[in-house]
Structure 1
Amino acid sequence: MDRLRIVGGQRLQGAVAISGAKNAALPQIAASLLSPSPLELTNLPAVSDVDNMLNVIAQHGAQISRSAQAVTIDTSAAASRETTYDTVRKMRATVLVLGPLLARFGQAQVSLPGGCAIGARPVDMHIKALAQLGADIGIKGGSIVANAPDGLTGARIVLGSPSVGATETAMMAATAAKGETEIVNAAREPEVADLAACLGAMGATIEGAGTHRILVQGDTRWRAASHHTIPDRIEAGTYAIAAAITGGQLELTHARLEHLASVVQILEATGVSVWPGDRGLIVSRDGPLRSVDVTTEPYPGFPTDLQAQFMALMCCAPGASLLRETVFENRFMHVPELMRLGANITLQGTSALVRGGNPLRGAQVMATDLRASVSLVLAALVAEGESVVNRVYHLDRGYESLDRKLRMCGATIERFRE
């Protein structure tokens, strides 16, 4: 199993190319199952989650062609087969194939998914949305089993909360339903809007993506399409925090300010400067850090996927900061590992009180999930001495060439295996 060895104390400086958004790419790959016409996707990140999703659709008969710039998916010979637990256990996003398979073939069976252990993250909203479109759907033997032999019918779907996955499932299924579908309390994340853009290129008619109300016209006439995946705002936010925590300056090429407004606002409150450049964003810190309280919220609020990284930053800021997690339960598993590096953190239910400013010191730490693992890397970048981060396969799920990108900006970091 790979590990990362990091020697702290280096100020990061240089440029980092922000890859395509993993959380946008996964539903777009799943959406390819809706259409018998080819779909070309460009700017897909080279991460294991993307490889796993491509493997999932390949098991349904999709033909996948890769080039240096694009992945082309041809599902003209695809069929609805059981998506087994062995296939889906590595990540939760595999549930996104459920809607497209059901919509196109009238039946689907997908094992309940695995992935990061950051709370229950139930799939009940996916099931309810498909049931409102007319599916006979339930849980049998650890799998979601859905049938709609006469097809799906447009409906008004009111989501109990603005779930990104449930919004994407409802939107994809609705493109093949009869008539119009209205999705209320929809997630507003850029990844949802990017999926709508991809579906639009494929022939769908969707209005309101990026707002709380989405309208989808069914009976789509599919066509061959090409779509360029948006840059990863979470990767961009992570490298912005890397610049901040090391007192460095990084140019984040391809990063989009409009996707990071809440993050930039918080970073500027800590004493970090962020401004647009010709190729993306420039992030710099010259002075001391200031402690800031943060509450995670659905987009456009501060993203839960940056909570662990921001906690690492607050460990280096003099004073006390309170981080409230409102999106997922059990998303503080990085806290004990940060404390191994010398952090002073007290958990209080869904909040974490960070007393920062004391020096961090290198140690052996263990990654527990994707975002938790990168928070340990960030803390190790400023810890005195050497740190070793174990189980870095979590990092490879969502960060393309993290160690190489950091090394190019001056970090002392190497990947090794024992």
Structure 2
Amino acid sequence: MTTPVRDADLDEKPVPAGSVLAIRGGRPLRGRVDVKGAKNIATKAMVASLLGETTSILRDVPDISDVAVVKSLLEVHGVGVTEGDEPGSLVLDPSAVESAHYEEIDAHAGASRIPILFCGPLLHRLGQAFIPDLGGCRIGDRPIDFHLDALRKFGAVVEKQPSGIRLSAPNGLKGANIHLPYPSVGATEQVLLTAVRAKGTTELRNAAIEPEIMDLIAVLQKMGAIISYEPNRVILIEGVEHLRGYDHRNIFDRNEAASWACAALATDGEIFVGGAKQQEMLTFLNVFRKAGGWFDVQEDGILFRRDGELKPVIVETDVHPGFMTDWQQPLIVALTQANGRSIVHETVYENRFGFTAALVKMGADIVVHPHGLQDGPRRVPRRELEQAAVITGPTALHAADIVVPDLRGGYSHVIAALTAEGESRVSGVDILSRGYEKFLDKLSALGADFDVVR
């Protein structure tokens, strides 16, 4: 027999592994949630602490499982990680860094793809690094070839083994000229974390320029790195011999902020997202307004709600400053309630519309075109992997039993269940702990009606 877990049992804990959310939808979400630092900078700044010769302090660190994974991996390599002088801060002491056995790395990495970013710092500190088979959300091909090609250009020797990949730098790492075939965020982070202590100058072309990348550059500059960026996605890094620790406060999580904004849109609610900033969300806010949303930018956050009837939109995902791929999934839930036909062109990942099958099961009218759509003017050039989703609304959503496929898709499933009439059962929700801090507490604060069933 299943046992409901009451809200009091969930306070400040992650979503329990293997649990199912029994969600009774049909009521607007109203209230305030606060977002901390972005997981896409917090985890990378933690890795950067390996490069310093003194202790680093990182602030506004979200309490999510991805952070826990990086903490464990740092500790396996001898980095001391303790709580700082304020809630949500970490003190990272790299003075005792040492190599770790691949079995330890594999055990702590789990499904995370973070270990690949340890390579550059570990090659500088120890002359060697190991990464196990990499996991992550199953949203399409996410090859590490960009990372390995860049590391080879720095002078790393890459040896593929049955258990993973071993890297060494017998002659040290040297600056390189690198042109990424695609402005990959992960590969850009790899180059930055490797180039700052490589001998000579590195020129990186076609780099990602997301706000989280700029924040990582700020972290590295605080440590003593010399980094400049030019127009047309060019970043120049002059290698230095020594780096010190940093004291840094992460930028807010714009992905989580956009998720809650879409929840307000879908459920016809009103949500104030504390900590959200306008500048990093300009592109999202434009689409939000076009879709019939209303927002009020305040000093300590942004208030989101509908502004009358929802309207159809055409969206093309792209790298920054375009519309983020992580934003389209929760937006699609809201677009099922818009009056007309919306189109979302996914140009970043080739398999990110799998979550829409559950929405169709709940009554949504969504047709996925696996090879994209050829017609209509486009701002983003077509890519071979491109897909398109055509959403026709409004359609009443009804309850269903659904399984979470990935982080952002899983959040979208929960919001769809909160929009639908009746009781839905959503399983696999523990993956939400990877990117949403105190997710169940926030749902409760917004008036969601649910139980966690084990």
TM range (shorter): over 0.9
Structure 2 equivalent of residue 395 of structure 1: 432
Residue from 35, 41, 44 that aligns with 1:24: 41
Please give the per-residue CA displacement for 1:350-380, whole angstroms capped at 9, x wherever unaligned: 1111122110011111001001100011111
1:225-267 per-residue CA deviation (whole Å, 9 max, x = no partner) reads: 2111110000000011111112222221111111111111111
Structure 2: how far apart are the matches of 1:75 and 1:211? 35
Matched to 2:335, the amino acid is M
**Matched-pair contact (CA < 8 Å) for 1:206–1:217:** yes
1:417 matched residue in structure 2: 453
CA contact (8 A) 2:346 2:388 kept: yes
Query: Conserved in 1, the CA contact under 8 Å of 2:63 and 2:88?
Result: no
Q: Which residue of 1 is the match for residue 89 of structure 2? A: 70
Query: Cα–Cα, structure 1 residues 220 and 241, in superposed 2: closer, same or farther, change >3 Å?
Result: farther
Q: 2:339 aligns with which of 315, 318, 323?
A: 318
Match of 1:125 in 2: 146
- Output the amino acid matched with 1:399: Y
Amino acid at match of 2:262: I
How far apart are the structure 2 equivalents of 1:356 and 1:413? Answer: 26
Mapped partners of 2:256, 2:317: distance in 1: 17
SS at match of 2:174: coil
Deviation at 1:4, TM superposition (A): 1.7
1:246 aligned onto 2:267 = yes
1:364 to 394, 401, 417: 401
Work out which of the residue numbers 78, 86, 90 in structure 2 matches 1:61. 78
Separation (CA, whole Å) in 2 of partners of 1:265 and 1:413: 32
Q: Any conservation in 2 of the 1:193–1:209 contact (CA below 8 Å)?
A: no
Q: Which residue identity does 2:440 align to in structure 1?
A: D
- Confirm or deny that 1:14 pairs with 2:44: no
Structure 1 residue 106 corresponds to structure 2 residue 127:
yes
Structure 2 equivalent of residue 197 of structure 1: 218
Deviation at 1:301, TM superposition (A): 0.7
- Counterpart residue identity of residue 253, structure 1: G
Aligned pairs, how many? 417
In the alignment, what sits opposite 1:328? Answer: 349
Task: Give me the whole-angstrom Cα distance separating, in 1, the residues matched to 2:231 and 2:423.
Answer: 43
> Once the 2 structures are TM-superposed, how far is the Cα of residue 286 of structure 1 from its aligned partner?
3.7
Quote the residue 2:415 is aligned against: 378
Conserved in 1, the CA contact under 8 Å of 2:291 and 2:312?
A: yes
SS at match of 2:32: strand
Which residue matches 1:303? 324
Contact 1:127-1:138 within 8 A present in 2 as well:
no
> What is residue 187 of structure 1 aligned with on the other side?
208
For structure 1, the 5+ residue unaligned runs are none
CA distance in 1, matches of 2:53, 2:338: 54
User: Are the counterparts in 1 of residues 283 and 322 from structure 2 also a CA contact under 8 Å?
Assistant: yes
Q: Does structure 1 conserve the Cα–Cα contact (< 8 Å) formed by 2:62 and 2:88? A: no
Structure 2 CA distance for partners of 1:221 and 1:64, relative to 1, 3 Å: same
1:263 pairs with 278, 281, 284, which one? 284
Structure 1 ranges of 4+ moved more than 6 A: none
Q: Does 1:155 align with 2:192?
A: no
What is the alpha-carbon distance in structure 1 between the residues aligned to residue 53 and residue 164 of structure 2?
26
The residue aligned with 1:96 is: 117
The offset of 1:221, in angstroms, is 2.3
Distance 2:322 2:163 in 1: 34
Measured after TM superposition, the shift of residue 400 of structure 1 is 0.6
* Secondary structure in structure 2 of the residue aligned to 1:193: helix
**CA separation in 2, counterparts of 1:279 and 1:209?**
31
CA RMSD of aligned residues (A): 1.6
Query: How far, CA to CA, are the matches of 1:98 and 1:369 in structure 2?
Result: 26
From the superposition, tell whether residues 209 and 143 of structure 1 become closer, same or farther in structure 2 (CA, over 3 Å). farther
Alpha-carbon distance in structure 2 between the residues aligned to 1:210 and 1:49: 32
Q: Could you tell me which amino acid in structure 1 is paired with residue 90 of structure 2? A: V
TM-score w.r.t. length of structure 1: 0.96
* Alignment deviations for residues 278-317 of structure 1 (CA, whole Å, 9 cap, x no partner): 2121212141111111111011111111121111111111
Per the alignment, residue 43 of structure 1 pairs with 60
Q: CA deviation at 1:209?
A: 8.4
Code of the residue aligned with 1:363 in structure 2: it is: A
- TM-score for the superposition, normalised by structure 2: 0.89
The question of whether the paired residues in 1 share the 8 Å contact of 2:155 and 2:171 is answered with no
C-alpha displacement at 1:417, in angstroms? 3.2
Paired residue secondary structure (2:342): strand
Q: Report the alpha carbon displacement of residue 222 of structure 1 after superposing the two structures with TM.
A: 1.7
User: Which one-letter code corresponds to 2:450 in the other structure?
Assistant: I
Residue type matched to 1:133 in 2?
Answer: F
**What are the superposed Cα offsets for residues 176-233 of structure 1, whole Å, 9 maximum, x if unpaired?**
1011111111101111111111111222121128971111121242223211111000
What's the offset of the Cα at 1:61? 1.0
Provide the rounded CA distance (Å) in 2 between the counterparts of 1:209 and 1:403: 42
Q: 1:139 is matched with which residue?
A: 160
CA distance in 1, matches of 2:450, 2:393: 24
Shift of 1:98: 1.4
User: Contact 1:193–1:210 at 8 Å: present in 2 too?
Assistant: no
**Over residues 144-198 of structure 1, what are the superposed CA-to-partner deviations in whole Å (9 max), with x where a residue is unaligned?**
2211122111111111110000000101100110111111111011111111111
2:379 — aligned with what? none
Residue 392 (structure 2) aligned to one of 326, 337, 355: 355
Q: Aligned runs of 1:168-183 on 2, under 5 Å?
A: 168-183=189-204
2: CA distance between counterparts of 1:74 and 1:209? 33
The question of whether the paired residues in 2 share the 8 Å contact of 1:102 and 1:108 is answered with yes
